[in-house]
Amino acid sequence: MVSEAPRPVLPGREQLEGLTPLRIHPGSATKSVVRVCEWAGLRFVVKDVHAMHPWVRALYGRRVLRREERALAALDGVPGVPRLLGRIDADALALEFVDAEPLRRNLDPVRLRRACSQLSARIAALHERGVVHLDLRQKRNILVDAKGEVFLVDFQSAWVLAPGGLGLRLLAPLDRSAALKFRWRYAPDLLDQAERVRARRSEWLGRFWIFHRFGPLLRFVLGR
């Protein structure tokens, strides 16, 4: 179901730069600056590629920003996905603020178990809209609020595909394997025997996953 809430009026670039962030991830030559801001009574998150290395911003930053915008538009109204509020400008998106923290072992056990039990359903809801996230093995992309509700964030690697199509069928298992990984790690009693076998196999294969090394390599090459 598509959200019927009106889009808020957002600040422009000049107004945004004048705000004092409540929270910030500083970004780098290859990563967005992520700020939590408050303006006109609205608390929101800004993903901003303006400070990237100019070549990276032109060839990569704006492209992944458009990719995230497209994915969030396709997921409008899906529970557990922050709402896209709109564009600040060509270099920045504004997103709904969610008061939550990354999934991790030392969360309150009740919250952690509730989050693990929700994760597969949250991922299935993405796939019903034809969206594959492709970066959910990074636990910082899975947030848990005070009640144990799960939110999936950071869709810059996501693809929007035809629901039920071949592409979705091929890529969706990558997202589902992330849910299996975290249930195996934090709440293994939620898995049946077949899932335990798959989890062990996935954990072993994960040692050979090299793509997470590309970002640090690119930052080294650019000298930042």
pLDDT average, residue stretch 72-76: 97
Residue linked to tokens 């492209």:
63
What is the pLDDT, as a whole number, of residue 203?
67
Answer whether residue 120 shows pLDDT above 70.
Answer: yes
Answer whether residue 212 shows pLDDT above 80.
Answer: no
Query: How many other C-beta atoms are found inside a 10 Å radius of the C-beta of residue 58?
Result: 12
pLDDT average, residue stretch 73-93: 97
193 and 185 in contact (C-beta within 8 Å)? no
Q: How confident is the model at residue 128 (pLDDT cuts 50, 70, 90)?
A: very high
Of 7, 37, 5, 33, nearest to 22 (Cα)? 37
What is the pLDDT, as a whole number, of residue 31?
83
Answer whether residue 56 shows pLDDT above 80.
Answer: yes
Answer whether residue 105 shows pLDDT above 80.
Answer: yes
Of 84, 76, 81, nearest to 10 (Cα)? 84
Answer whether residue 21 shows pLDDT above 80.
Answer: yes
Answer whether residue 222 shows pLDDT above 50.
Answer: no
pLDDT average, residue stretch 77-86: 97
Instruction: Provide, rounded to the nearest whole percent, the portion of the chain with pLDDT above 90.
Output: 69
| CA 219 – CA 221 distance, rounded (Å) | 5
Q: How confident is the model at residue 121 (pLDDT cuts 50, 70, 90)?
A: very high
Residues 6+ apart with CB under 8 A from 139: 102, 103, 104, 182
What is the pLDDT, as a whole number, of residue 148?
95
